[in-house]
Amino acid sequence: MNSEEKLNHLFEALKAEKASTSVADVTSWIQASAQATAPKSTSKMIIQKNFFIMSTIAITVLVGGLIFLPGNKESKDTPQQKHTTKESTLDTSTCVVDQTSRLKMNGRLREAPFIQPLTDFGIIPLPFVEIENGPAIIPIYPIRSTQQARITKNQSNAGSWFSSNDSLFVDTLFIGVKSLVFKGDKCDLLVRGSERSDVSMKYEYQLKAKGVFNRKNHGNCELSYERRDSVLTIHLEREEQKINGVSVIFDNSVMEFNVPENIDVKMDSDLGDIDVIGLRTNTTKVYTALGDITAENISGNIDLHTDLGDISMNDLSGKINSITSLGDIDGEYILISDNSIFNTSLGDIDVQLSNSLSDCSLDLSSSLGRVKIDRPDFKKKSGSQLDIGNGKWKVIMETSLGKVIVR
């Protein structure tokens, strides 16, 4: 048999023979081969993974530190706030106190913080300003002057005071005065009797204004005195105010005299009320162009005159002339000791006489009105004219329009 036939015969035998190798044997062979090469590749992979993990951790720590460290510092300084609507409302007073307490300041400022809590009620006040032509008048307190002008007996002297910032206050004494004369502009006067031996004078002037206005000139006030022998003359001059715009002005000008006995008094004012009380003088003469006159507890020669205003009298004795152009004349406990006149052009006259009717000769008249006598011991009335009594004191009471009553 040749070699070719032997090979064919062998192949046929092998084909006919049953396979003795299983799938499990092949699997075991593959695993064994893999285990032989595994140690080297596995260690390399583990090293790569460890390097990646460590790098990631380092980068994360570095970036997180940069991000969170400033935020943590701020959160330590600033307390967490609750974001509810009620609790997030600012308390102004608390905030102001906390802020001021951190400032470095002296003890005086700590006791009284310079910022006070404010409450906004939604009310906006109207501003009061003066336009640029002149400074606005602002409320100020009067300048209290302690200056004393003591005038010795038998010495002539003169002096004056001027207002500053629309304010003036004077309080002084005058010695050796036998006659007091006042002449002045707008001023309320009070003349009071006193037991002292000298004449005291107190004057207060103050001007306040609010609004939107300008002033062409400032109304200065000047108070001066002049003494010749025993006659003391007081002058008060005030410059006219010229204010343009809308403003509210408060003007206060008050003069007060305390006068000893036996000093003649003469008051002459252009505008203002005059009160004379408790004087024991030979002559009391009072005149105001516009204002009321009040006279109480005075004796002597009394002359009360106002162009426009009422005259009120109480407990007067002596020779009395009471005249007003437009106003009423009222009197109680009036004792006449000389001829007297009570006259008003437009107004009523109502006087209670302490005299008996036999002491007086009454001449009562009203051009348009009624006249009457209404006393417990005598009553009489007439349409326009009454003449009663034949006493030594002539008493005339007349009005053009009004009524006349003697009580």
Rounded Cα gap, residues 188 and 294, in angstroms: 12
76-102 per-position pLDDT tens digit = 444 444 444 333 333 333 333 343 333
**Helical segments of 286-328, H only:** none
Percent of the chain with pLDDT over 90: 47
* 3-class secondary structure, 333: strand
pLDDT band, very low/low/confident/very high, at 68 (cuts 50, 70, 90): low
DSSP string, 340-375: EEEEEEES-EEEEE-S-GGGEEEEEEEEES-EEEE-
Task: Output phi, psi for 95, to 5 deg.
Answer: -60, -40
Provide the β-strand partners of residue 291.
Answer: none
Q: Which residues pair with 217 in a beta bridge?
A: 242
Nearest Cα residue to 183 out of 259, 268, 257, 240:
268
Helix, strand, or coil (residue 166): coil
Q: Comparing C-alpha atoms, which of 207, 210, 212, 208 is closest to residue 132? A: 212
Kindly write down the DSSP assignment for every residue of 7-71, as one continuous string.
Answer: HHHHHHHHHHSPP---HHHHHHHHHHHHHHHHHHHHHHHHHHHHHHHHHHHHHHHHHHHHHHHHH
**What is the pLDDT averaged over residues 1-9?**
68
Give the pLDDT of residue 145: 41
CB-based contact 345:399 (threshold 8 Å): yes
Domains observed in the chain? 176-202+226-233+242-406 (2.160.20)
DSSP characters over 229-241: TTEEEEEEEEPPP
Give me the chain's average pLDDT, please: 76
pLDDT tens digits along 385-407: 999 989 999 999 999 999 999 99
pLDDT, tens only, 180-197: 999 998 899 999 999 989
Two tokens at 396?
A: 């005339």
This prediction's pTM: 0.63
pLDDT (0 to 100) of residue 404? 96
Give the pLDDT confidence score for residue 3 in this predicted structure.
Answer: 64
Q: Which two tokens stand for residue 307?
A: 């162009």
Amino acid at 41: S
Sign of CA dihedral 23, 24, 27, 29: negative
Q: How far apart are CA 381 and CA 103, in angstroms?
A: 87
Coil, helix or strand for 92?
helix
Kindly compute the dihedral angle of the four CA atoms of residues 158, 163, 169, 172, in this order, to the nearest 10 degrees: -10
Are 224 and 159 within 8 A, CB to CB?
yes
Strand, helix or coil at 134?
Answer: coil
Mean pLDDT of 52-65: 68
